[in-house]
Structure 1
Amino acid sequence: MITKNRIQQAEEALQQTKESMNERFRLGYHIMAPANWINDPNGLVQYKGEYHVFYQHHPYDENWGPMHWGHVKSKDLVHWEHLPIALAPGDVCDSDGCFSGSAVDNDGELTLIYTGHHYTDKKNDVFYQNQNIAVSTDGVTFEKVGENPVIVAPPEDSTHHFRDPKVWKHEDTWYMILGNQSIEEQSGRVILYKSSDLRKWEYIGVLAQSDGSHGFMWECPDFFEMDGKYVLMLSPQGMEADGDNYNNLFQTGYFVGDYQYETNLFQHGSFIELDHGHDFYAVQTFLDDKGRRIAIGWMDMWEADMPTKKDGWCGALTLPRELKLTSDNKVLMNPVEELTLLRELEHDVCADKSISGTHLVEEKGDLLEINVEFDLNLTSASSVGVKLRGAKEEETILTYDIKEQKLILDCSKSGKKEDSVRRVSLQSDSKLSLQVFIDRSSIEVFANEGQKTMTSRIYPTEERAGIEIFAEGGEALVADCTYWNLKDIWK
């Protein structure tokens, strides 16, 4: 009853904020909370034929605070419905927060596995963490189990950083990985447990650990098999920037390798950054009934400027993306095919047309999908790209430097005055394809069928003037340019 009262209070606080919320930057087709703060996606799962996504949520404030679990569901990964808050902190097992975790369908019982957060000295950020579960038979109302915490404390060679459980089943056994920090090296690692019933867990050991160059803590780990290989995704804290790589405060990336359950031996290659925009963190994945590995990340970044806080809300999740593994062990991310359901008006701008300078299409819409393909074999220009023009000075520029073979996203005139440019190497010899999703305050770029992605929040204040396709330093052949106005799923 206490938990239900806390959830009811949180829902009432959300409703109160929602009534006064400024909607200028509210997204049209992304997952957001009804109001106030969200960060990490949690508990991505398909349950009784519907997709469920939970998220870290502070329903009382637009800033981070005591974490609850917000909740949405969908039948098609496109049209989302807000459900009541699933978890509220304040019990003995999670006194100061229900931190990130995962969800599994345990023979019809939807089980959430999450980290309980407890401050012993909040002013100095001194805390301890444990692992808990909550269960539901309707997918809406959850009860924390009496056995909580199901894992009381981390292993002895660990610091107090011990969070973000990801749970899956292999054969007849449940496995759990956790983000952790070794006490000796003070470096990030992922540790492994196993269980027969989700209640009693046995510690197995370290699955993977930083070699000293991958940060002081690994958050939000995920581990899964793809095409005979194993992928470990994680979000390292404390990696140093290296040229065009690792330019955000914290990173998200992956290792690919071979794994043996019998020995807990994961032999892997080097760490690869997953997205090269400004705002992508804490990605989580799940396997759906079509056999697809689908990923969703937090579409913001710690310590970034977040203008929507003034409006009574903060934070959003990325579009769902299907993952595929290439023969050389690179992960590709592309929008799930269901996102074509968002398309309304289609506009064929040009096909097989040579341009020099700019080609402007007047378009005032702020929910758009743009698909452009350049034929680089018939291009003499030094760079090509797409520009989103504001009515006066604002613009978001996506440029491909053909000589340097780099994709460049410049948001300096779209609400990111500092730290505004991101670059990523992209080999593109014969063609360049760009699939770009624009929402009111976000841009997501998928280049060459997901070889590279760039995700950033933008905050334009001017009315949009149009879409500009450009070629600099010569001519470029635009093989195709089509765009769609997209529907607002929340209206």
Structure 2
Amino acid sequence: MDMHNQQIEKANQEVNKLKEQVSNHEWNLQYHVMPQANWMNDPNGFSYYKGEYHLFYQHHPYDSKWGPMHWGHVKSKDLVRWEHLPIALAPSEDYDKDGCFSGSAIEKDGKLYLMYTGNVWIEGKLDEDLKQVQAIAVSEDGIHFEKIKENPVISEVPGGDINIFHFRDPKVWKHEGSYYCVLGSKTKSNTGQVLLYRSSNLIDWEFVSVMAKGKGNFGFMWECPDLFELEGKEVLVMSPQGVKPEGNDYHNLHQAGYVIGELNYQTGIFQYGPYYTLDHGFDFYAPQTMVDDKGRRILIAWMDMWESDMPTQEFGYSGAMTIPRIVSLKNSRLYMLPVPELAELREEETYYSDVKINGEQSFEGVYGDCLELNMEINVKEATTFGLKLRKDAATKQETILSFDKLDGLVTLDRTKAGVGPGGVRKAAISLDEIITLHIFIDKSSVEIFINEGERVMSARIYPTKEAQGITFFSDRLITITSLSKWNLKKAIK
């Protein structure tokens, strides 16, 4: 057995020791992708191959804290029921001995190619003395991967105003017969930027350009870039580090957002408009997209945040993915909605229509810790209204979603959500007479889709098992024109 397969075998054995304990823990999510044990961060290699969705992720199989990165791996036929597979990549070579960092996947000649960043720490300052290169691993079955002998396929940072240490997260795609990839980068003076490369065969790469560069409050490093076409426009999704808070925006440690524009494939220059946040909650980073056989652009992100308190770590696991979301372009903005396949998890519908609320009220059958809510509200004369989720009167736990019509703001408040990080996040929202809410609650998460995906807010929360109440509140009369609640079945073994 070669060194790579030895390392994978060893890592799988380590995960197996804890997976049963983790699967029975009260905060273990029921229908979100999580590691079977230990650490998870960025989604990687999100792709559709031989009739199945494949999702890889940054994984440290030896600890519930970040460490030498491997690639964990799950696959699904329907984006709902995911099967855990053996670890796909492990550090094993001189060029990736300290980590197989983030990257992407593409099919070529019936094989699945992973393109990833090999990381090596050099003695000295952790954030400066490192060597990052780009490498390829190939599989004929989508499960077992072999690192190619030509690695690293991009071994040096290009000349010019490009930081020589930070050079990572390749996202690869095909356009008019050539392969392209974008790489996260920064300038020598710490301004975030994205590099563009081109190849005819995925092995021999040429540097095309600094495709896009930040101006103003746009961070010191752009991680996990992803360029794709939607409705005739190019969209660049990325995760800028170091953006400073402005008003209600940018209060997470790092951001995840997008710009819309046009890429000139000849010059490699991307002309783009304003930067927008993708998810206005607490826990959303490193989103990656893919196109499936139905032509849908689907996005998954890491549903946690760097340097955030993660209470599950003491129980042997940390990190999760968002539910898969369909991305569309409307009104020159990206909208995100949950994939409709998730409806397959529904059971025991509770339904109400034309219910009037003035004050605070709960409904029989509308409670729980693993559920879906879908509702339409006529807000009429109300100026403030909303919901309290995962509520427990005895311990005063609650996660509050509230709308302020006068200020045009939606607020997600997890100050009393249980253990773990608290905090408040706010976002501007158009509040007409009718608003729609689509909410997914899992054992330690909540994802909220407002006005058909105009705004999305995601958060990890860690309440007690008893916190299952849901109440609605309003300062003046509102009408819930329709309210559906379903319990959701466990989807991931």
TM-score normalised according to structure 1 size: 0.96
- Bigger drift between 435-444 and 18-27 goes to 18-27
* Partner of residue 479, structure 1: 481
* Partner of residue 85, structure 1: 87
2:442 to 439, 454, 462: 439
Q: Give the Cα–Cα distance (whole angstroms) in 2 for the partners of residues 105 and 390 of structure 1.
A: 49
Matches for 1:40-59 after TM superposition, within 5 Å: 40-59=42-61
- State the Cα deviation string for residues 18-68 of structure 1 (Å, max 9, x = none): 244361110000001110000000000000000000000000000000000
Q: Is 1:322 aligned to 2:323, yes or no?
A: no
- State the Cα deviation string for residues 174-224 of structure 1 (Å, max 9, x = none): 0011001111x3211000010000000000011100113201000000001
The 8 Å contact of residues 286 and 294 in structure 1, kept in 2 or not, is answered as yes
- State the Cα deviation string for residues 248-284 of structure 1 (Å, max 9, x = none): 0000000001222122231111111111100000000
Q: Is 1:180 aligned to 2:185, yes or no?
A: yes
The 8 Å contact of residues 412 and 425 in structure 2, kept in 1 or not, is answered as yes
Q: Give the Cα–Cα distance (whole angstroms) in 1 for the partners of residues 385 and 344 of structure 2.
A: 29
Q: Give the Cα–Cα distance (whole angstroms) in 2 for the partners of residues 281 and 320 of structure 1.
A: 14
- State the Cα deviation string for residues 112-148 of structure 1 (Å, max 9, x = none): 0000000112664421100000000000000000000
TM-score normalised according to structure 2 size: 0.96
* Partner of residue 334, structure 1: 337
Query: Shift of residue 386 of structure 1?
Result: 1.4
The 8 Å contact of residues 308 and 421 in structure 2, kept in 1 or not, is answered as no
Q: Is 1:356 aligned to 2:361, yes or no?
A: no
SS of the aligned residue for 1:296 comes to strand
Query: Shift of residue 364 of structure 1?
Result: 5.2
The 8 Å contact of residues 356 and 475 in structure 1, kept in 2 or not, is answered as yes
1:161 to 166, 172, 178: 166
Q: Give the Cα–Cα distance (whole angstroms) in 1 for the partners of residues 358 and 433 of structure 2.
A: 19
Q: How many residues align?
A: 485
Q: Give the Cα–Cα distance (whole angstroms) in 2 for the partners of residues 228 and 222 of structure 1.
A: 16
Query: Shift of residue 482 of structure 1?
Result: 1.1
The 8 Å contact of residues 211 and 268 in structure 2, kept in 1 or not, is answered as yes
Q: Give the Cα–Cα distance (whole angstroms) in 2 for the partners of residues 422 and 232 of structure 1.
A: 24
Structure 1: tracts of 5 or more residues without a match: none
Which residue identity does 2:9 align to in structure 1? Q
Q: Is 1:278 aligned to 2:286, yes or no?
A: no
Query: Shift of residue 169 of structure 1?
Result: 0.2
* Partner of residue 15, structure 1: 16
The 8 Å contact of residues 58 and 101 in structure 2, kept in 1 or not, is answered as yes
- Bigger drift between 246-255 and 414-423 goes to 414-423
Which residue identity does 1:132 align to in structure 2? A
1:312 to 313, 316, 324: 316
Matches for 1:101-250 after TM superposition, within 5 Å: 101-121=103-123, 124-125=126-127, 126-157=129-160, 158-159=162-163, 160-183=165-188, 185-250=189-254
Matches for 1:409-448 after TM superposition, within 5 Å: 409-415=412-418, 419-448=422-451
Query: Shift of residue 17 of structure 1?
Result: 2.2
Distance 1:32 1:476, change over 3 A: same
Query: Shift of residue 415 of structure 1?
Result: 3.0
Which residue identity does 2:350 align to in structure 1? H
Query: Shift of residue 396 of structure 1?
Result: 1.0
Structure 2: tracts of 5 or more residues without a match: none
- Bigger drift between 414-423 and 295-304 goes to 414-423
- State the Cα deviation string for residues 278-311 of structure 1 (Å, max 9, x = none): 0000000001111100000000000101000011
SS of the aligned residue for 1:464 comes to coil
Q: Give the Cα–Cα distance (whole angstroms) in 1 for the partners of residues 222 and 126 of structure 2.
A: 21
Which residue identity does 1:103 align to in structure 2? A
2:301 to 297, 300, 307: 297
Cα-Cα RMSD = 1.3
- State the Cα deviation string for residues 82-130 of structure 1 (Å, max 9, x = none): 0000000021221100000000011211000000000112664421100
Which residue identity does 2:281 align to in structure 1? G
SS of the aligned residue for 1:3 comes to helix
- Bigger drift between 117-126 and 352-361 goes to 117-126
Query: Shift of residue 352 of structure 1?
Result: 1.4
The 8 Å contact of residues 434 and 448 in structure 1, kept in 2 or not, is answered as yes
- Bigger drift between 84-93 and 74-83 goes to 84-93
2:403 to 400, 405, 413: 400
The 8 Å contact of residues 210 and 269 in structure 2, kept in 1 or not, is answered as no
Query: Shift of residue 464 of structure 1?
Result: 3.0
Q: Give the Cα–Cα distance (whole angstroms) in 2 for the partners of residues 463 and 29 of structure 1.
A: 20
SS of the aligned residue for 1:168 comes to strand
Which residue identity does 2:403 align to in structure 1? Y
Q: Give the Cα–Cα distance (whole angstroms) in 2 for the partners of residues 226 and 50 of structure 1.
A: 23
